[in-house]
Amino acid sequence: MTEWLRRLRGALLILVFLSVFLYIFSLNFRPPEKMDVLQRFVVETLVPPIKSVGRIASFFEDLVKEYVWLRNLRSENALLRRQLAATEQKLTDYQEAYIENLRLRRLLDFKSSIHVDTVAARVALHDLTGWFQTVMVDKGFRDRITSDMPVVNDEGVVGRILDVSDRYSRILLITDPGSSVDAVIQRNRVRGVLSGKDANSCILKYVRGNVDVQVGDLIITSGKDGVYPKGLRLGVVQGIFKDPVDLFQKIEVKPLVRLNALEEVLIMKREANAPDDVMGN
């Protein structure tokens, strides 16, 4: 019984509300005249709450519209960020292609200036352990590469082929302590042996202490070690250390090749009848 009365009361409230709403709505269709007491009471009592409800509804409508607008804005921003990232990547690719083209052009010009057959190779891997100064390149037995072939680029001597597989070869860089190159100071033709010191420098050994050596002197290959042709650029003198009790002076040499930035090299395939002086000196 109580449940039935509750439902009846709810239905009556809804009916009253609808009746009042329809009554107010019907006033729009009556000719203009002064409202009676009931009309004024209804209008003055119910219009403010109805206006408040309308403002609340407008507020939520605006809120929903702003939420939708913000979602669209976020989507547009995300799209613009993706487009900007793609554009920046394209610019990076173009710059990388341009720089690579410059490197290859210099390498091609150098290749045309020497008098032996060469094979161009790309550096595939630098030694990751740091124990050895070596790099791997993408040419091997299939390209008729053998051990002890000299490796150069347009800047100077890189090193020599250490060992070879079918498709790859390992290069011993001139900065490795196990490397040795018969060298000569270009200015005064004094000979020595260039060996590796660390990743960034070499040592010119067996130069007597009374010999004139100057910072900035160019060191080139002598062609007398049976590996490197004569006249290839090795490095420049960057430090001289003399010990009165030592027969030889210690000469520190900076390689001309930026060995930590190698990307392409030329492997020199010296033939039996190839000239010793590949640079035409």
Residue with tokens 């490397």: 179
69-121 pLDDT tens trace:
777 777 777 777 777 777 777 777 677 676 666 676 776 776 777 778 889 99
**Do residues 203 and 240 touch, judged by C-beta distance below 8 A?**
no
pLDDT of 256 strictly over 80: yes
Exposure of 21 in the CB half-sphere (CA atoms within 13 A): 9
**51-55, 177-181, 199-203, 230-234: least confident range:** 51-55
- Most confidently modeled range among 3-7, 110-114, 175-179: 175-179
Residue with tokens 């995300």: 78
Q: Which of 175, 262, 277 is nearest to 224 (CA)?
A: 277
| CA dihedral for 144, 149, 151, 156, sign (positive or negative) | negative
**Do residues 46 and 24 touch, judged by C-beta distance below 8 A?**
yes
